[in-house]
């Protein structure tokens, strides 16, 4: 973690504030250097495949897809998935395979939807070493919370979508980023609105940092059904 922080002091000072709305995060995480997550590929990284790099410490490729179908405008379904590889400078090589599905019903002004957890298998050299899961929970007011976890080689980190911007009293519909916690304490945050960034507490172990990075890629680059408006 120290190598990552020291190597990014210059990069973070040049990065600036590119996004319109910045996700809410703890003061401790906000005080950490901003690590850019650079994405390249089709349509400037917004297409269905591409590459990514995190401060010369992690890199990889991704391929994703999403589809929708509807029957008579009443019953519909939405699917999303992603396959990604994550390579660390320490020599780790993970493969992430993700999928999820959402069903919906709309008739006479009544609309309902139900989503299966969006899940990813994490493997290394063909062996399962971890898991990612995030589940949306809709309230009676229509808002949706998304929370889950990521595990890599026995290290577990909780995660949740953040839909409230700094200085705002209201939540937006789409995630602005993701918060990562251990024992109830926020230890990292990944901003996805605008330019993607990552901030982590310096005391994270290498294993915890790996789990946060895998969770960040699964969260930030996947096309999940509940967030697919195309």
Asked if pLDDT for residue 15 goes beyond 50, the answer is: no
pLDDT at 111 over 60: no
Residue 40 in contact with residue 49, Cβ under 8 Å? no
Q: What confidence category does residue 6 fall into, taking pLDDT thresholds of 50, 70 and 90?
A: very low
Distance (Å, rounded) from C-alpha 170 to C-alpha 97?
Answer: 33
For residue 11, being part of any structural domain is answered with: no
For the cut 90, the answer to whether the pLDDT of residue 74 exceeds it is: no
7 part of a folded domain:
no
User: pLDDT-based confidence at 86, cuts 50/70/90?
Assistant: very high
Residue 199 forms beta bridges with which residues? 189
CA–CA gap between residue 188 and residue 28 (Å, rounded): 9
Quick check: is 1 in a domain? no
Residue 174 lies in a domain: yes
Q: What is the pLDDT of residues 198-222, one digit of tens each?
A: 999 999 999 999 999 999 999 999 8
The confidence score (pLDDT) of residue 9 equals 35
Residue 6 lies in a domain: no
Query: Does residue 50 belong to any structural domain of this protein?
Result: yes
Q: Is 19 a residue whose pLDDT tops 50?
A: no
Tell me the C-alpha to C-alpha distance, in Å, between residue 90 and each of 87, 134, 214.
Answer: 8, 27, 14
Domain with 51, as residue range(s), is 27-101+116-222
230: in domain: no
Tell me which residue of 2, 8, 224, 230 sits closest to 116, measured CA to CA: 224
Contact at 8 Å (CB) between 50 and 223? no
Considering its fold, how many domains does the chain have in total?
A: 1
Question: Can you point out the beta strands (E) in the chain?
Answer: 35-41, 49-54, 58-71, 75-88, 93-107, 110-115, 118-124, 127-138, 144-152, 155-162, 177-182, 185-191, 197-200
Reply yes or no on whether the pLDDT at 33 is more than 50. yes
Q: Is the pLDDT of residue 75 over 90?
A: no
Tell the residue number behind the tokens 């310096």, with chain if given.
202
| 9: in domain | no
């Amino acid at each position: 973690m120290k190598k990552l922080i020291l190597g990014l002091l210059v990069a973070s000072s040049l990065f600036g504030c590119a996004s319109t709305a910045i996700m809410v995060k703890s003061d401790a995480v906000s005080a950490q250097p901003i690590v850019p997550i650079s994405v390249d590929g089709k349509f400037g990284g917004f297409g269905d495949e591409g590459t990514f790099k995190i401060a010369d410490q992690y890199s990889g490729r991704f391929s994703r897809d999403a589809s929708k179908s509807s029957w008579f405008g009443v019953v519909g379904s939405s699917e999303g998935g992603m396959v990604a590889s994550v390579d660390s400078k320490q020599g780790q090589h993970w493969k992430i395979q993700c999928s999820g599905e959402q069903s919906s019903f709309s008739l006479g002004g009544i609309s309902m939807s139900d989503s299966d957890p969006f899940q990813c298998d994490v493997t290394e050299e063909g062996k399962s070493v971890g898991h990612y899961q995030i589940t949306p929970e809709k309230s009676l007011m229509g808002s949706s919370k998304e929370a889950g976890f990521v595990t890599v080689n026995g290290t577990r980190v909780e995660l949740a979508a953040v839909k409230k911007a700094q200085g705002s009293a209201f939540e937006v519909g789409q995630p602005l980023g993701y918060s990562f916690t251990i024992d109830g304490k926020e230890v990292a945050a990944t901003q996805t609105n605008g330019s993607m960034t990552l901030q982590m507490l310096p005391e994270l172990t290498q294993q915890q940092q790996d789990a946060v990075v895998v969770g960040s890629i699964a969260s930030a680059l996947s096309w999940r059904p509940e967030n697919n408006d195309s």
